Amino acid sequence: MTTAIPDEKGVEAVVAQEPVTATAKRALSSPWASLAAIVIAVLWTIPTFGLLVTSFRPESAITTSGWWTAAWNGGWTLDNYDQVLNGSDTNLGTYFINSMVITIPSVLIPISIAVMAAYAFAWMKFPGRDFLFVAIFALQIVPIQVTMIPLLTLYNKAGVTGPDSFGGGFYTIWLSHSIFALPLAIYLLHNFMSQIPGELIESARVDGAAHVQIFTRIMLPLMAPAIAAFGIFQFLWVWNDLLVALVFGGGSLEVSPLTVRLAELSGTRGNDWFLLSAGAFVSLIVPLIVFLSLQRYFVRGLLAGSVKG
Amino acid sequence: MSTGEKFIQMLIAIAVFFAVVAVILLVTQRLRSRRGELIQSAAFVLPAIALICLGLLYPAVKTIWQSFHDRTGQAMVGLDNYQTIFTDSTQLLVLRNTAAWVILVPIMSTFIGLVYAVLVDRSRFEKFAKALVFLPMAISLVGASIIWKFVYDYRDSSNTQIGIANAIIKGLGFDTYKFILNDPWNTVFLIIVMIWVQAGFAMTILSASIKAIPEDIIEAARLDGVGGMKMFRYITVPSIRPSLIVVLTTISITTLKAFDIVRTMTGGNFDTSVLAYQFYREYFNSYDQGLATAIASLIFLLVMPIVIYNVRQMRKLEAR
């Protein structure tokens, strides 16, 4: 949802101007204000940092001393990572693969469908266009819990659940993630697309270009940043999802992603912190890399309203 | 399935999908007549519409219909399931917890996000400072739960503590506390995890809208001698009111639907369950389809007004 909130360029332009608001800043940047900011920053960082430190400590050290004593207590090791990735009882390597296999199609498929639909809603004329667009937009309010039981029944009838089925049971997860992403994706991409000047499309049409050419040659390149913004969102959403994988994976570990396995470990081996800490970071590393390297797009997507309703 | 097979399955799925899309585009490309254009638009829109009808519209209607039926979905029971939600003692506890989540998480994350956004605004380390608070947004709720379970780790006072929360409590000379077990405060400690995750979202949106406050307003206030807390209270907050409402409502919606934290940290035990988790529990553990669908419908009903309000606020923001 494009809003009055300026895009990043706007923000940077404002920042670049010498701040007229210096007074406001000065008033709030008293030592107490700085202290408050530091306290919040520390509170927000310490929990993750503690677990990160723990993941590199030997098991015996973890259980006998706090992680804050790690610098002089117990030494360091990579064994925890070796064990969670390759150990036979955890074997997170497999689940890491599952997460990848689930996430990639669940990002590509809905984006493709949504880009096409968004193009049609923005630039093609057909009866019922506005009604259909509003209807799709309105369906954003359906919480995924509401759809789950009937959808699961449907999948079971179609015989696509379970490890023995066609595609090993991944299709239900791919399809569900794709469907749940559509309303928001169509809405956002439509917003971006309708901002592209109409003359561009018109002149291309006059030159004899068909919709398909306009779509592939003009629209897709212009839409790349918007597609990237939504793609990152969908990527993080699918990678971090627990509910969809749990329900539509049919409880089969064959197709479970990292989140499902980690949640299970947290239940069954809740005190084995050498496993849990390393396991958590195995699952965190991909979203963190995506997030840190593509933060610009992420923030842009967030400001445009990429929040799953 | 081996790793290789999984990736092959994935590639097949993607290839088949893109082949279908390519065929649609190629076939409809040649149609230039009036009718042809109609077929073209159908080819562009129908895949999305078909999927949405199959996966959202039909299931939503079916769920609401089933919520008036018994646990196996056979006999019509009227409003019995809803009556259970509002009278049964277990379910009442779930409602109490859900209320606590939906009130505390949006207010606290928005408050902390706002204060932090103002504090670091235009400071030298702004980008870095924001990234620190924003980082939890990239982490799964399962990951966040594990991170915080470690913070809350409990050991008897006589032992060496490995959870930092209890280490601090012990350091101050008190007895260690079972954060996750002791009802009713354990719900609050789970809520803190969600606040920790959501504050970054609030901060990002609010920070952008603080930067969008027109310079002349602030300048005028400054000339009138307004500064510090007064500036915050009378200029900043009113200027970003629409964004504040969007942030509050968006976080409420997310919170109502989140079940990962409760499931990972307590499994819904020790009186911590919330509606979104209870839905899962009633269906997959108690096999009570009627009650599960009723809970899902209730979530739907609760979310609906917030979403509508949220969308109207966003429209207003857009119109400005």
Tell me the nearest-neighbour CA distance from B300 into chain A, angstroms. 6
Tell me the nearest-neighbour CA distance from B148 into chain A, angstroms. 6
pLDDT band at A307 (very low <50, low <70, confident <90, very high): low
Q: What is the CATH number of the domain that holds B130?
A: 1.10.3720.10
For position B319, what pLDDT does the model report? Answer: 60
Tell me whether B257 touches chain A (CB under 8 Å).
yes
In a domain, B73, yes or no: no
Check whether residue B37 and residue B175 sit in a common domain.
no
Domain boundaries, chain A: 23-77, 86-303
Q: Which residues of B touch A2 (CB under 8 A)?
A: 318
State whether the Cα torsion A182-A184-A187-A188 is positive or negative.
negative
Cβ–Cβ below 8 Å for B29 and A213: yes
Rounded CA-CA distance A34/B129 in Å is 11
Residue of A nearest to B306 (CA): A141
Give all strands (DSSP E) within B115-245, no chain letters: none
Number of domains in chain B: 2
Q: Which residues of B touch A279 (CB under 8 A)?
A: 146
Give bridge partners of residue B69 from the DSSP assignment. B76
In a domain, B243, yes or no: yes
Q: Two tokens at A37?
A: 């900011």
Residues 121..160 of B with a Cβ closer than 8 Å to A: which? Answer: 121-123, 129, 131-133, 135-143, 145-151, 153, 160
Q: Which residues of A touch B214 (CB under 8 A)?
A: none
Tell me the nearest-neighbour CA distance from A90 into chain B, angstroms. 16
For position B227, what pLDDT does the model report? Answer: 74
pTM assigned to the model: 0.87
H, E, C per residue of A195-245: CCCHHHHHHHHHCCCCHHHHHHHHHHHHHHHHHHHHHHHHHHHHHHCCHHH
For position A5, what pLDDT does the model report? Answer: 41
Of B43, B66, B89, the last residue of a domain is B66
Interface test with A, best of B27, B51, B246 (most A CBs within 10 A): B51
Q: Two tokens at A244?
A: 């969809």
HSE-up (13 A, CA, CB side) for residue A105? 25
Q: Return the SS3 of B38.
A: helix
Residue range B52-76: average pLDDT? 90
Cβ–Cβ below 8 Å for B32 and A277: no
Partner-chain residue, chosen from B49, B133, B135, that has the shortest CB–CB distance to A132: B49
Closest CA to B132 of B187, B223, B209, B203: B203
Check whether residue B53 and residue B85 sit in a common domain.
no
Helix A31-55, helix B185-211: angle, nearest 10 = 120
Partner-chain residue, chosen from A17, A163, A280, that has the shortest CB–CB distance to B147: A280
Tell me whether A166 touches chain B (CB under 8 Å).
no
Check whether residue B305 and residue B277 sit in a common domain.
yes
Phi, psi of A208 (to 5 degrees): 95, 10
Q: Two tokens at B52?
A: 């949405």
Per-residue model confidence as pLDDT tens digits over B139-198: 999 999 999 999 998 888 888 888 899 999 898 988 888 888 888 899 999 999 999 999
pLDDT at B292 over 50: yes
Partner-chain residue, chosen from A65, A280, A309, that has the shortest CB–CB distance to B307: A309
Tell me whether A158 touches chain B (CB under 8 Å).
no
pLDDT band at A2 (very low <50, low <70, confident <90, very high): very low
Q: In the CATH scheme, what is the code of domain A86-303? A: 1.10.3720.10
Per-residue model confidence as pLDDT tens digits over B3-55: 788 888 889 889 988 998 888 888 877 776 667 778 888 888 999 999 999 99
Q: Two tokens at A84?
A: 């969670």
Tell me whether A34 touches chain B (CB under 8 Å).
yes
Say whether the peptide bond before residue B184 is cis (omega within 30 degrees of 0).
Answer: yes
Give the CA angle between residues B305, B296, A259 to the nearest 5°. 110
Count of CB atoms situated within 10 Å of the CB of B144: 25
Rounded CA-CA distance A269/A80 in Å is 14
Q: Which residues of A touch B162 (CB under 8 A)?
A: 62-63, 65-67, 273
Look up the domain containing B56 and give its range. Answer: 3-66
Alpha helix ranges (H) inside B53-88 = 58-66, 80-87
Tell me the nearest-neighbour CA distance from B97 into chain A, angstroms. 18
For position B146, what pLDDT does the model report? Answer: 92
For position A202, what pLDDT does the model report? Answer: 83
A164: CB partners within 8 A, 6+ apart: none
- Which long-range contacts link B120-129 to residues 24+ away (Cβ below 8 Å)? B120/A37, B120/B207, B121/A25, B121/B207, B121/B210, B121/B211, B122/A15, B122/A19, B122/A21, B122/A25, B123/A25, B123/A29, B123/A37, B129/A37, B129/A41
For position A9, what pLDDT does the model report? Answer: 41
Check whether residue B117 and residue B198 sit in a common domain.
yes
In a domain, B71, yes or no: no
Rounded CA-CA distance B174/B158 in Å is 11
In a domain, B222, yes or no: yes
Residue of B nearest to A106 (CA): B14
Residue range A200-226: average pLDDT? 83
Cβ–Cβ below 8 Å for B280 and A243: yes
Count of CB atoms situated within 10 Å of the CB of B62: 19
Q: How many residues does chain A have?
A: 309
In a domain, B75, yes or no: no
Cβ–Cβ below 8 Å for B44 and A45: no
Residue range B76-92: average pLDDT? 90
Closest CA to B314 of A253, A162, A188: A188
Cβ–Cβ below 8 Å for B205 and A5: yes
Check whether residue B49 and residue B97 sit in a common domain.
no
Check whether residue B27 and residue B164 sit in a common domain.
no
For position A212, what pLDDT does the model report? Answer: 80
Q: Which residues of B touch A299 (CB under 8 A)?
A: 204
Check whether residue B45 and residue B162 sit in a common domain.
no
pLDDT band at B94 (very low <50, low <70, confident <90, very high): very high
Rounded CA-CA distance A268/B45 in Å is 46
Which of A12-21, A55-64, A177-186, A247-256 is the most confident on average? A177-186
ipTM of the complex: 0.87
Tell me whether B174 touches chain A (CB under 8 Å).
no
Of B40, B66, B92, the last residue of a domain is B66
pLDDT at A252 over 80: no
CA A250 to chain centre: 22
pLDDT at B294 over 90: yes
Check whether residue B52 and residue B102 sit in a common domain.
no
Residue with tokens 């601090």: B168
Q: Which residues of B touch A67 (CB under 8 A)?
A: 162, 164
Q: Which amino acid, B252?
A: S
Check whether residue B55 and residue B13 sit in a common domain.
yes
In a domain, B74, yes or no: no
Tell me the nearest-neighbour CA distance from B80 into chain A, angstroms. 18
For position B147, what pLDDT does the model report? Answer: 93
Per-residue model confidence as pLDDT tens digits over B216-234: 888 888 888 887 778 888 8
Give bridge partners of residue B76 from the DSSP assignment. B69
Cβ–Cβ below 8 Å for A20 and B218: yes
Closest CA to B62 of B316, B318, B292: B292
